[in-house]
Amino acid sequence: MVLDTPTLSPGEAMVLAGLPMTEAGDAARDSLKASGLPNRRVEAFKWTDLRAALSEPVADPDGSAGLIPACLQEALVLDFAPDGFGLEGDKDEGLIIETEHSLPMDGAGPVAVLAAGRAPRAVVLRVTSPQTRPIVLRRHPGAPMRLRIELADKAELTLIDMGLAAAGLATGLIEADVGAGARLIRYSVQRGGAQAIDLTHTSVEVANGGSYAAVSLMFGAKLARAETTVCLAGSTARCDLSGAYLLAGQSHADMTIRVVHRAPGSETREVFKGAVQDRARGVFQGKILVERAAQQTDARQNHHALMLSEGAEIDVKPELEIYADDVQCAHGNTIGALDDQALFYMRQRGIDAVTARALLVEAFVTEVFDAMTDPGLRDWFVGLARDWLAEVRA
C-alpha cells in the first residue's frame, strides 16, 4: 500500500509550527508530517474527524479554567497554562512533584502523540503513601498538559481535572502507574466553547489488587475527545468508569474507552449516560478486551443516551474482544427519546412539560454520579448538570 504524504491544512500547519523542540515534539512532528491528523476514514476517528475540526487555524486561547468549587478549597492545585506550569496550596508528605523534559510514552495513538509532543515538559507525581488532600489539575485554555503519576503499592490519590475554555486547542496526556493495592480516583469536568478543541488521552496501568475509578462529565466543545485506556495488568484489579455527556448547540464530545484485562480475576464496571440536543453530537466508543490469561474476568459496560431534539446525533460503538473462556462479559446500549409515559405522569400531577423534562433528564443523567463517595464533589457535579439543564431550556 502506498501512503501519500498528506498536504497539511492551515490548522494542521499551525499545530505543527507550535510543537516544541523536544524528543516528544519531534515524534509528534514526524507523525503529523507523515499522516496528518486522523480523519473519519481512520476507524477509531470515524465519528470524530480531527482533521476536519482543525482544517482552519484554531482561534487563540480564550476563557478561564473555571472556578474551583468550595469543597476543593483545601486541595493542592497544579496550574497548567499555555506558557507553563505552576503550583498552589499545600503539599503533604508522601508526595513528590518533579518535572521532566523527556519521558518514554505509555499512551498510544495520535491524540497521545500530539499531547506528549505539545507539552514542553512533563509533570511527575510520585505518591508513596495515601493522600487525603486531593490534587486539582487546573487546565487553562490552550494549555498543553502532560502528567505522569506513579502510585507506590497501597498509595492512594484523588485527582480532579477541570477546564473551561472558550477557545483554543488544549491537549492533555495523563499516564499513571497504579501499584499493588493502590487506588487512583479521578473526577474530570470538561467544558469548552464553540472555538475550543479539547483532546485528552489517559493511560492507566493497574497492578495486583489495585484500582482505578473515574467519573467524568463532558459538555463538549467544537470538538472534545477524552480517550481512556486502562490496563488491568495485575490480578484481582478493578476498574470503575462512569461518566455523562450533556451536549447542546453545536458541541461535540467523544468518550473513547479501552479496558484491557491482562491477568485473572479482575473486574470492570462502566456506566455512561448522555443527553444530546440541537445540532450536537455525542460519540461513545467503549472496548473491553480480555486477553487469554485473564480468566475469571467479570466485565460489564452500559451506555444509555437520550436524544432531546431533532438534528442531534449519537454514535455508539461498544465492543467486546474476548480470548478467555471462563469470563462474564456483557454490554448494553440504549438510545431513544424521553419516556412519554413518565412525562405524562408528571404533567398529570401538574408539572409543566419543560420542568418535567428537565427533572427526568436530570434524574437519568445524574444517576452515574451516585458512585461518587465525596458528597461535596457529587453535589458539584449534579449542580453543573442542573445548571446546564436550566441554561438549555431557557
Partner 1 sequence: MPAVKETIETVESIAEYEHGFVTEIEMDMAPKGLNTDIVRFISAKKEEPQWMLDWRLRAFERWQTMQEPSWAMVRYPAIDFQDAYYYAAPKAKVELNSLDELDPEILATYQKLGIPLREQEVLAGVRGAPRIAVDAVFDSVSVATTFREELAKSGVIFCSMSEAVREHPELVQAYLGSVVPLSDNFYATLNSAVFSDGTFVYIPPGVRCPMELSTYFRINAAETGQFERTLIIADKGSYVSYLEGCTAPKRDENQLHAAVVELVALEDAEIKYSTVQNWYPGDKNGLGGIYNFVTKRADCRGARSKVSWTQVETGSAVTWKYPSCILRGEESQGEFYSIAITNGHQQADTGTKMIHLGANTRSRIVSKGISAGRSNNTYRGQVSAHAKAKGARNFTQCDSLLIGDQCGAHTIPYVEAKTPYATFEHEATTTRLSEDQLFYCRQRGLPTEDAVALLVNGFVREVLQELPMEFAVEAQKLVAISLEGSVG
Contact 114, 28 (CB under 8 A): yes
Shortest gap between Cβ of 165 and partner 1 (angstroms)?
28
Which of 23, 315, 367, 379 is in the footprint of partner 1 by CB under 8 A? 315
Distance (Å, rounded) from C-alpha 79 to C-alpha 68?
A: 12
Which residues share a beta bridge with 17? none
Which of 87, 88, 92, 323 is in the footprint of partner 1 by CB under 8 A? 323
Nearer to partner 1, 311 or 383 (CB): 311
Shortest gap between Cβ of 43 and partner 1 (angstroms)?
6
Give the binding-site size for partner 1 (rule: CB under 8 A).
37
42 part of the interface to partner 1, by CB under 8 A? no
Indicate the residue type of 14: M
309 part of the interface to partner 1, by CB under 8 A? yes
How far is residue 390 CA from its own chain's centroid? 24
Which of 84, 328, 387, 390 is in the footprint of partner 1 by CB under 8 A? 328
Which of 206, 314, 356, 389 is in the footprint of partner 1 by CB under 8 A? 314
User: Which residues of the chain form beta strands (DSSP E)?
Assistant: 62-64, 76-81, 84-88, 95-100, 122-127, 135-139, 144-151, 156-178, 183-206, 211-218, 223-232, 238-247, 252-261, 267-276, 281-290, 298-307, 313-322, 328-336
Side-chain-side CA neighbours of residue 294 (13 Å): 29
322 part of the interface to partner 1, by CB under 8 A? yes
Q: Beta strand 84-88 with 76-81: parallel, antiparallel or unpaired?
A: antiparallel
Which of 326, 348, 375, 394 is in the footprint of partner 1 by CB under 8 A? 326
Distance (Å, rounded) from C-alpha 50 to C-alpha 122?
A: 24
Which of 13, 27, 329, 342 is in the footprint of partner 1 by CB under 8 A? 329
Which of 87, 330, 353, 390 is in the footprint of partner 1 by CB under 8 A? 330
Contact 267, 294 (CB under 8 A): no
247 part of the interface to partner 1, by CB under 8 A? no
Which of 14, 16, 97, 320 is in the footprint of partner 1 by CB under 8 A? 320
Enumerate residues 337-356 that contact partner 1 by CB under 8 A.
337
Nearer to partner 1, 279 or 386 (CB): 279
313 part of the interface to partner 1, by CB under 8 A? yes
332 part of the interface to partner 1, by CB under 8 A? yes
Distance (Å, rounded) from C-alpha 173 to C-alpha 200?
A: 6
Shortest gap between Cβ of 316 and partner 1 (angstroms)?
4
Exposed, middle or buried, 34 (CB in 10 Å: 0-12/13-18/19+)? exposed
Residue 25, SS3?
helix
Interface contacts to partner 1, rule CB under 8 A: 1, 43, 47, 292, 295, 305, 307-337
